[in-house]
Amino acid sequence: MNPLSLRNVTKTYKTQGKPLITAVNDVSFTIEPGSIHGLLGPNGAGKSTLISMISGMQAPTSGSITLFDVDMVRNPEQAKGFLGVVPQEVVVEMAFTVQEVLYYFSGMYGVPKAQRQGRIDHALEDLQLSDKKDEKAKTLSGGMKRRLMIAKAMIHQPKFLILDEPTAGVDVALRQRIWDIVRRLHAEGTTILFTTHYLEEAEQLCDTITLMNHGAVIKEGKLKDIQKEFSQNSIHFELYDQNVPHPEGVHRTGSEFEFPMRSLAEDMEMLTKHYNSNLKAIRSEAASLESIFLTLTA
């Protein structure tokens, strides 16, 4: 039973007098239990539109969306029960205090009354909002509002947590804290789907990714496999004395040397034997997500 399965999901928008917009175009992928899945792509790629359909906020024009085998279109109430969602836009209940907001949401999501206060205190502490608990939500700073949204989304301990750019515009310390929370929830068995424009963040957190552009999936799978596929297939090395004979195929790149990789183990052995103690450093390079992203979306 996968937390998420998308089959041929399409969303088009028709506004009068304007051409049809296909925001999401025939998207299919699954997220397996216990994954941290990164949904990546440039501005306007269709990520938030897809997330709003996965969250049941709008219906797909065509295609099917199931959460733990429950169809989001046919059975939205049950499907939504699995979810916690942090949308991209900041939405908080301005007139209520932080604690009231969390109390309201824990009730709405069916957290038993006896457990509510404990959960709220825990969430407040987790997101460092304890000293703001009696303040009205409208008086919070932007970063604090985002923290409150995250607290709201996890108060009922959902099996599947979706975060649309949770770390956009937050300070460095809070970003680290959000990562820690994501990692902890993941360790506790929560499946996570999130979007980010910080590819380094995706590199550190994700097991699997979907890369979208112009509404469509352009790459999908295990982050490690994708990095392998795009790896530069070359060995880079540095020498103490550069004026020595080189094996065939070696060429200089700046202060380094490069050798096209055939078999990592054999090539490393050959180079080590050839250069011996003249070899200062040697490494094979996996492509960074940023270079993969730029290659695919250029």
Q: Which positions touch Mg ion (CB under 5 A)?
A: 47-48, 88
Beta carbon of residue 72, minimum distance to Mg ion (angstroms, whole number): 19
Bridge partner residues of 191 (DSSP): 160
Site for ligand ATP in 75-134 (CB under 6 A): 88
Shortest Cβ distance from residue 88 to ligand ATP (Å)? Answer: 6
In angstroms, rounded to a whole number, what is the distance separating the alpha carbons of residues 109 and 81?
Answer: 7
Is there binding between residue 47 and ligand ATP (CB under 6 A)? Answer: yes
Beta partners for residue 73, in sequence order: none
Shortest separation between residue 198's beta carbon and ligand ATP, angstroms: 12
Determine which residue in the list 41, 56, 84, 158 makes contact with ligand ATP, applying CB under 6 A. Answer: 41
Least distance to ligand ATP from the beta carbon of 289, Å?
A: 16
**Residue 15 or 253 having the CB closest to ligand ATP:** 15
Q: How far from chain centre, in Å, is Cα 296?
A: 18
Binding to ligand ATP in span 10-29, by CB under 6 A: 13, 21, 23
Instruction: Kindly indicate which of the ranges 41-49, 107-115, 125-133, 279-287 contains the residues binding ligand ATP, using the contact rule CB under 6 A.
Output: 41-49
Q: How far apart are CA 204 and CA 199, in angstroms?
A: 9
d(CA 178, CA 155): 15
Considering the rule CB under 6 A, would residue 3 count as an interface residue with ligand ATP?
no
Q: Considering the rule CB under 6 A, would residue 49 count as an interface residue with ligand ATP?
A: yes
Q: What is the DSSP string of 118-148?
A: HHHHHHHHHTT-GGGTTSBGGGS-HHHHHHH
Given a contact cutoff of 8 angstroms between Cβ atoms, the answer to whether 105 and 155 are in contact is: yes
